[in-house]
Each structure stands twice: as C-alpha cells, then as structure tokens.
Amino acid sequence: MYVEMKGICKKFGNYEAAKNISFDIEKGKLVALLGPSGSGKTTILRILAGLETQDEGDVIIEGKVINDIPASKRGIGFVFQNYALFRYMTVYDNIAFGLKVQKMSKEKVHERVMEMISLIGLCGLEKRYPDQLSGGQRQRVAFARAIAPNPQLLLLDEPFAAIDAKVRKELRSWLKEMIRKVGITSIFVTHDQEEAVEVADDIIIINEGNLEQMGTPSEIYKHPETPFVANFIGTSIVLSDLSGFKGFEEIEKGKKVIVRPEFVEAFKSDNKKFHDLIPAAEEGVIEKIEFRGSYLEVTLKVGDVRLVTNRSLERRSISVGEKMYVLLHRIYVFDEGTAQRYKNSLLKDVDIELM
C-alpha cells in the first residue's frame, strides 16, 4: 500500500473530527474523501499533509511512518479550497515558488514553470496576478503550483467548491485527465457525491469522524454497508413502515427502510410489459411530476407512503391524479448498523436486473 492511515484519532476540544480512521490507498489511484460538511474529511486530509497533528495513530507513506516529519518535508502537493495562491505574486512566481525553495537553477525553474503553464493551458497569462484570473484559471494555477515540485502525493481540499456550476463540470474532467496524465496518487475531499462518483477510482465515505465505507463508486452504490451510506449516496427515501406492501410482509415494522427511485416502477394498468407483475404491485396516485431535464421525477402516493420514481421521457405521458400501479422491487433494510438488500418476495422468479 502506498498511503496508509492507521487508527487516526483527532479531537478539537470536545469535537471528535476523526475517530479511529484507517485506510490504505494504492499507488496511482485517485481517491475521494466524501462526506457532509463537518464530517471530518478535511481534517483527515490535513493530518495526511502534516498541517494538523493526530492525537493517535500513524500516517504511513511507502511503508515509512511519517508522523514526526513536518509538513514541509513530506513532499506532498496540496491544493487548498480557496486555492491560497500567493496574491502578490504572478502566475509564474506562484508556480516557481516551490522550485525556488528547492534551490533549483534558474534555467531549470523556468523550464519547469513553462512546462506547467502549457500543461494547464494558460500560456500567455504567466505575468498575471491571481486577482486577474477567473475561478477556473486560479484552480489550474493552484494545481500546477502543487505538482510543479513533483510531489509523490497530491491532496486537494474541495477543489471545485469555489467554482460556479457551469465551469465545475468541465474542470472535473479536466482535473481527472490531468491527474491521469501526470500519474500522481491523489486524494480529494468533496461533499458532492456526484463529483466523487464521476472523478474518483475509489471513494471513502466519512461521517461524524467515522469511516463508513470504502470502495469503488459502483460497489458503494450497489452495496451500501451502513444506513448513512445508503442514505447519502443516490437519492433515497427513508421509511419506517412497509408492512402494508405486497412482497415485503416479513419486514418488521419500525425497521429503517431505504428506497431509491430506481427501486420503484410505476406503470399504467394497460401496460403489457408489466402485466404479469400486477399481483406484486400496489395501486397509487400520482401526486407530483417534476421535469428534470432528461427524465421526470414522479412522486406517487401509495396508502400513507410517498414513493419517488424516475420516468423516461420516451414513455407515455402521465398526469397528476392519475392512478398507476406501483411496483417496489427492491429495498434496503437496516438492522443494527448493517444494510441488507431485500427483494420483493413475489418477484422471486423474475430477474429484476433485466427489467
């Protein structure tokens, strides 16, 4: 393992920012630390960088415990949330800073800086000051500044948070491509699950200082291990009583149940494709239809329960108040901190993956 955190604990006063956090990261991976704000993910990143000191536990890089090595000697590149570009230095001097500190010769510094500037596509802007750049350009400079001294590990704290939504998407793929190109092991912190899923090879989910789950985006999506993860990833509805639903009679009342839109199918009574499934379905009424660009988000009322499903725009049109069959084919049930997938018992013979 390239980067290892072993039993990291950190308290700020009474606030526990990290509770016994342990994980390994392979060389060359791009990993997301994902969690809601205040979950402790930034603290973990800062401990890794040496900007905070853990109360307990070890930080290990390439098999070496680096607890006592100061931030300046760890050789880690760091991109700050607000970029922290040196305001009174030009783009050129910002990128050159880390190289000059290493006492590199002037020619070599120049060569490397120009290489970085062309890598980030900001040729001609090297004499500008950070104030004269757009948010996206600043982020590129911050990235170039962090990787110019050739660090072995790159850490990024909410790298897209300060950028407007439009540019963000473009920058995400840019950054992913850059990191691939440079081939540097990278860890970034984000609170945006979409961002984590899109950019990262692996995701580490942090909540209230606990590591909830680590895995590839699809693993985490398909097999959430904790209620928090199931709720946090994807759009979910939490229910506590499903006893009235066909096929879920054995679920005890009061147990926490999570339903995702993709677990719900709503169809009209004359739908031929789903005709055989009517015995497993409930009757519901459309309460709300919202247009989401490429699909419709449909809220249905089934008894006392509200369920949400996404409907393709290619399907027949529907209207509020219309009666529909609602088929719940899968749910997550949580019991004492573990999550279980549960299939509609009336669909035992149907391969729901094929629906």
Sign of CA dihedral 190, 196, 201, 207: positive
Verify binding: residue 76, other proteins, rule CB under 8 A: yes
For 86, other C-beta atoms within 10 Å of its C-beta total 12
Nearest CA among 312, 314, 289 for reference residue 301 = 289
Residue listed under structure tokens 């089934």: 302
Which of the residues 16 through 55 are near other proteins (CB under 8 A)? Answer: 49-51
> Near other proteins by CB under 8 A, which window of 74-82, 163-171, 294-302, 319-327?
74-82
Nearer to other proteins, 37 or 72 (CB): 72
Coil, helix or strand at residue 294? coil
Give the one residue of 35, 40, 57, 98 binding other proteins; rule: CB under 8 A: 98
Sign of CA dihedral 194, 197, 200, 203: positive
CB of 34 to other proteins, least distance (A): 22
Q: Do residues 176 and 195 touch, judged by C-beta distance below 8 A?
A: no
- In whole angstroms, what is the distance from residue 187 CA to residue 207 CA? 17
Nearer to other proteins, 88 or 180 (CB): 88
CB of 180 to other proteins, least distance (A): 23
Residue listed under structure tokens 């860890």: 187
- In whole angstroms, what is the distance from residue 138 CA to residue 144 CA? 10
Residue listed under structure tokens 């590149």: 77
Give the one residue of 37, 64, 68, 87 binding other proteins; rule: CB under 8 A: 87
Give the binding-site size for other proteins (rule: CB under 8 A).
28
Nearer to other proteins, 81 or 271 (CB): 81
Nearer to other proteins, 35 or 77 (CB): 77
- Sequence-distant (≥ 6) Cβ neighbours of residue 181 within 8 angstroms: 119
Which of the residues 107 through 146 are near other proteins (CB under 8 A)? Answer: 129, 131, 145
- In whole angstroms, what is the distance from residue 115 CA to residue 113 CA? 5
Verify binding: residue 274, other proteins, rule CB under 8 A: no
> Near other proteins by CB under 8 A, which window of 37-45, 97-105, 173-181, 269-277?
97-105
> Near other proteins by CB under 8 A, which window of 70-78, 289-297, 305-313, 328-336?
70-78
Verify binding: residue 71, other proteins, rule CB under 8 A: yes
Verify binding: residue 101, other proteins, rule CB under 8 A: yes
> Near other proteins by CB under 8 A, which window of 53-61, 69-77, 218-226, 292-300?
69-77
**3 pairs with which residues across the strands?**
25, 61
* Alpha helices (H) in 50-148, listed in sequence order: 91-101, 106-119, 135-147
Could you list the residues that contact other proteins (CB under 8 A)?
Answer: 49-51, 71-78, 80-82, 84-89, 97-98, 101-102, 129, 131, 145, 149
